[in-house]
Structure 1
Amino acid sequence: MTTPKLLNRLTFRQLQVFRAVHERQSYSRAAEALGLTQPAVSAQIRQLEQALGQPLFRYAGRTLHILPAADALAASARAIFGQVARLQMSLSDLDGTISGELNLAAVSTAQYVVPHLLARFRAHYPNVQIRLRVCNRAQALERLAEQRDDLVIMARVPRDEDLVFMPILDNEMIPVVWPGHPLLAAHRPTLEDLARHYLLMREPGSGVRGALEELAAEQDVALSHAIEMGTNEAVKQGVMAQLGVAVLPRLAVRLELEAGLLSRLDLPGFPLRHSWCTVYHRERFPTPVTELFLRFVRDHLNELQAHFSADPAPLPSHDVACLPEAAN
C-alpha cells in the first residue's frame, strides 16, 4: 500500500482505539476505558486493519494475541501522539496557558507525599488535567510494564535498563505499637521479639510487606503470626485498636506518633529505607506535560524533603484557592 493511500485512510480515532486495545490487551477493557461499546471498538480495529492491509490482533479462545504488525504500529502511534502533545503544548505557550493531561500511578505508601506535589504543580499550571491512581507495588509494576501511565511513583525500582527513574524522597518504614505495649519496656528488643506478636501486614505484592519479609529472611526470623489487611490505614487503625503490631511508613503514622496514639519501637535494622522515585519506560516518550512535571519536582525537591523531615506542620500556602475558575 502506498504512503498517500495509507495517510488518506488512517484516522486519529482508529489509532486512539488501537492504543487502548494494545495497552490493555483486551477489546472489552479498551471499550470500558474509552466509554465505547465493544462492537464499536471491534469496528474501529477492523477498519484500521483494512487500511494497513495486515491483521493486528487475533483471539484464541478468550486470549487476545498481539501480532507483529500491532507492535510496529504501537511504536509509531506513541511517536504520533507524542508529537500531537508537543503541538498542543506549543500552542498553549503561544496563548499564555499550559494545558494537557498528566496520568500518574502511585504505590499506596506514596499517597502521603504525591498530593502535596500535585497541589503545588496545579497552582502553577491550573489547566493541566491530573489523574492519580493509587495501587500496591504488584499493580504498579504491572501498569509500568504495560505503559499505562505517564509516570509511576514507587520505591524499590526494578533493575531494568529500559526504566528511567528519578529519586524524590526517602520512604522510612518503622515498627509501631500502641502506647504501653510491653515491648516498649523490653531491653533491646529485636525483630524476632516483634514477630512473636500478631503482626498486621498488607497483602502479598505490597512494597512494605516485601521490604519487611526481605529483612526477616536476612535475620532468619519467621513471620508466623500475620493478620493480613488491605490498606495501610486499616493496619494503622488495627495497631491503635491493639489488634497487633506493624511496620509502616513513617509518613503514614507521623500524626499519630505526634498525638501519642501510636509509639515507635526501636529495633535493629530499622528504619528500612527506600527512595520513592518517578519511573517511566524508556519506550514511552515523556509528553511535554510529563517533562514539565518532572522538572517541577526537581525544582521543589529541597522544599519537599525539608517539610517531611520536620515535625508535622502545614505546608506554606501556595496562594491558590482550590476552586474552579468561574465560567465566562
Structure 2
Amino acid sequence: MTTPKLLNRLTFRQLQVFRAVHERQSYSRAAEALGLTQPAVSAQIRQLEQALGHPLFKYAGRTLHALPAADALAASTQAIFGQVSRLQMSLSDLEGTITGELNLAAVSTAQYVVPHLLARFRAQYPNVQIRLRVCNRSQALERLAERRDDLVIMARVPDDEALVFMPILDNEMIPVVWPGHPLLEATRPTLEDLAHHYMLMREPGSGVRGALEELAAEQDVRLDHAIEMGTNEAVKQGVMAQLGVAVLPRLAVRLELEAGLLAPLDLPGFPLRHSWCTVYHRERFPTPVTELFLRFVRQHLDELHAHFASDPTPLPSHGVACLPQAAQ
C-alpha cells in the first residue's frame, strides 16, 4: 500500500482508540477510558487493520497481545500525538494561554501533598484541565503498568529501568496512639509492644501497610491483632476513638498532633521514610502539559519542603480566587 493511500485512510480517532487499547491491553478498559462501547472500539481497530493491511492484536485465551505491527504503530502514534500536543501548546502560547489536559493518579497518602501543588499550578495555568484519581499502592502500580495516566505520584517506586521518577517530598510514617495511652509512659517501647494492641491497618495493597509489614518481618514481630479499615481517615478517626493504634504518614496526622488529639510514639525503626515521587513509564513520553507540570514542581520544591517541614500554617495566598475563569 502506498503512503498516500495510507494517509487517506487513517483517522486520528482510529489512532486514539488504538493507543488506548495498546496501553491498556484490553478492549473493555479502552472503551471505558474513551467513553465508548466495546463493539465501537473493536470496529475502529478493524478499520485500522484494514487501512494498514496488518493485524494488530490477537487473543491468547483471555489475554490480548500486541502483534509486531501494533508495536510499530504505537511508536509512530506516540510521536504523532506528541507533535499535535506541542502544536496545541505553541498555539496557546501565541494566544497568551496554555491549554491541555493533565491526568494524575496519586496514592492515598499523597493526597495531603498533591492538592497544594495543583492549586499553585492551576493558579498559573487556569486553562489546563486537571484530573486526579486517588488510589492505593497496588492500584497505582496497575495504572502505571497500563500507562493510564500522564503521571503517577507514589512512594516506594519499583526498581524498574522502564520507569522515570522524580522525588518530591519525604513521606514519614510514624506510630500514633491516643493521648493517655499506656505505651506513652512505657520505658523503651518496641514495635512488638505496639503489636500487642489492636492495630488499625489499611487494606492489602496499601503502601503504608506494606511498609509496616516489611518492618515487622525484619523485627520478627507478628501483627496478629489487625483491624482493617479502608482509608487513612478512618484509621485516624479509629485511633482518636481509642479503637486501636496505628502507623500513619506524619502529614496525615499533623493537625491532630498539633491539637493534641493524637500522640506520636517513639519506637525503634521509626519513622519509616520513603519519598513521594512523580513516576511515568519511559514508553509513555510526557506530553507538553506533563513536561510543564514537572518543570513547575521542580521550581516549587523548596517552597513545598519549607511548608511541610514547619508547624501547620496556611500556605501564602497564590492570588487567585477558586472560581472558574469565566466567573471572574
**When the two structures are superposed, what TM-score results if normalisation uses the length of structure 1?**
0.97
CA deviations 1:199-245 (Å, max 9, x no partner) are 11111111111111111111111111111111111111111111110
Count of matched residue positions in the alignment of Structure 1 and Structure 2: 328
Offset at residue 63 of structure 1 (A): 3.4
Offset at residue 325 of structure 1 (A): 2.0
| SS in structure 2 of the partner of residue 243 of structure 1 | coil
Offset at residue 23 of structure 1 (A): 2.0
- The 5 A counterparts of 1:233-252 are 233-252=233-252
| SS in structure 2 of the partner of residue 204 of structure 1 | coil
1:56 match: 56
- Asked whether the equivalents of residues 24 and 147 of structure 2 are also in contact (C-alpha less than 8 Å), the reply is no
For residues 187 and 83 of structure 2, what CA distance do their matches in structure 1 show? 63
Which stretch has the larger CA shift, 135-144 or 168-177? 135-144
Offset at residue 327 of structure 1 (A): 6.8
Which stretch has the larger CA shift, 191-200 or 64-73? 64-73
CA deviations 1:42-77 (Å, max 9, x no partner) are 211110010011111223554333222222212221
CA deviations 1:122-174 (Å, max 9, x no partner) are 00000001111111111111111111111111111111122111111000000
**What fraction of aligned residue pairs are identical, expressed as a percent?**
91
- Asked whether the equivalents of residues 191 and 216 of structure 2 are also in contact (C-alpha less than 8 Å), the reply is yes
For residues 206 and 214 of structure 2, what CA distance do their matches in structure 1 show? 12
For residues 96 and 40 of structure 1, what CA distance do their matches in structure 2 show? 38
Q: 1:327 to 1:275 in 2, by over 3 A?
A: closer
Which stretch has the larger CA shift, 247-256 or 34-43? 34-43
Which stretch has the larger CA shift, 280-289 or 115-124? 280-289
- Asked whether the equivalents of residues 200 and 228 of structure 2 are also in contact (C-alpha less than 8 Å), the reply is yes
CA deviations 1:79-118 (Å, max 9, x no partner) are 1111111111111111111111111111110000000000
| SS in structure 1 of the partner of residue 230 of structure 2 | coil
- The 5 A counterparts of 1:177-196 are 177-196=177-196
| SS in structure 2 of the partner of residue 33 of structure 1 | helix
For residues 21 and 278 of structure 2, what CA distance do their matches in structure 1 show? 25
For residues 257 and 287 of structure 1, what CA distance do their matches in structure 2 show? 40
For residues 294 and 32 of structure 1, what CA distance do their matches in structure 2 show? 27
Offset at residue 38 of structure 1 (A): 2.1
Offset at residue 24 of structure 1 (A): 2.2
CA deviations 1:167-204 (Å, max 9, x no partner) are 11000000001111111111110001001111111111
Q: 1:327 to 1:200 in 2, by over 3 A?
A: closer
Which stretch has the larger CA shift, 70-79 or 293-302? 70-79
1:28 match: 28
Q: 1:293 to 1:189 in 2, by over 3 A?
A: same
| SS in structure 2 of the partner of residue 278 of structure 1 | strand
| SS in structure 2 of the partner of residue 326 of structure 1 | helix
For residues 301 and 186 of structure 2, what CA distance do their matches in structure 1 show? 39
Q: Determine whether 1:298 maps to 2:298.
A: yes
For residues 283 and 50 of structure 1, what CA distance do their matches in structure 2 show? 26
For residues 192 and 93 of structure 2, what CA distance do their matches in structure 1 show? 58
| SS in structure 2 of the partner of residue 126 of structure 1 | coil
Q: Which runs of 4+ in 1 moved over 6 A?
A: none
For residues 303 and 286 of structure 2, what CA distance do their matches in structure 1 show? 25
For residues 238 and 294 of structure 1, what CA distance do their matches in structure 2 show? 36
For residues 263 and 178 of structure 1, what CA distance do their matches in structure 2 show? 6
Offset at residue 28 of structure 1 (A): 2.3
For residues 218 and 32 of structure 2, what CA distance do their matches in structure 1 show? 44
| SS in structure 1 of the partner of residue 148 of structure 2 | coil
Offset at residue 282 of structure 1 (A): 1.4
- Asked whether the equivalents of residues 58 and 64 of structure 2 are also in contact (C-alpha less than 8 Å), the reply is yes
| SS in structure 2 of the partner of residue 171 of structure 1 | strand
- Asked whether the equivalents of residues 25 and 146 of structure 2 are also in contact (C-alpha less than 8 Å), the reply is no
| SS in structure 1 of the partner of residue 160 of structure 2 | coil
For residues 183 and 119 of structure 1, what CA distance do their matches in structure 2 show? 40
1:121 match: 121
1:203 match: 203
Which stretch has the larger CA shift, 220-229 or 189-198? 220-229
In structure 1, the gaps of 5 or more residues are none
For residues 271 and 60 of structure 2, what CA distance do their matches in structure 1 show? 49
